[in-house]
Amino acid sequence: MSIRRTPRGTTALDRLRERYTDVERVCSKCGHVDTDGGWSAKTTGSTVLYRHICPSCGAIETRTLSLK
């Protein structure tokens, strides 16, 4: 075997989540920068669903990402 597979489950997902946490923490509604919070990630198998709730105005941001 020449291809090393990433372990299933948390590792890949955590990495993706960290990435999102770094990139988008500014609320598009009120501009609040959420330095403490982050995105919560949930996977349905082939798709990752990200959700972030602004602590300032309560706006909910969602992103979906397809896993390959």
Give contact residues for Zn ion (rule: CB under 5 A).
27, 29-30, 32, 54, 56-57, 59
Amino acid residing at 58: G
With contact defined as beta carbons under 8 Å apart, do 41 and 47 qualify? no
Closest distance between Zn ion and the C-beta of residue 34, in Å?
8
Among residues 28 and 47, whose Cβ is nearest to Zn ion? 28
Closest distance between Zn ion and the C-beta of residue 53, in Å?
9
Neighbours of 68 (CB within 10 A): 4
Among residues 49 and 59, whose Cβ is nearest to Zn ion? 59
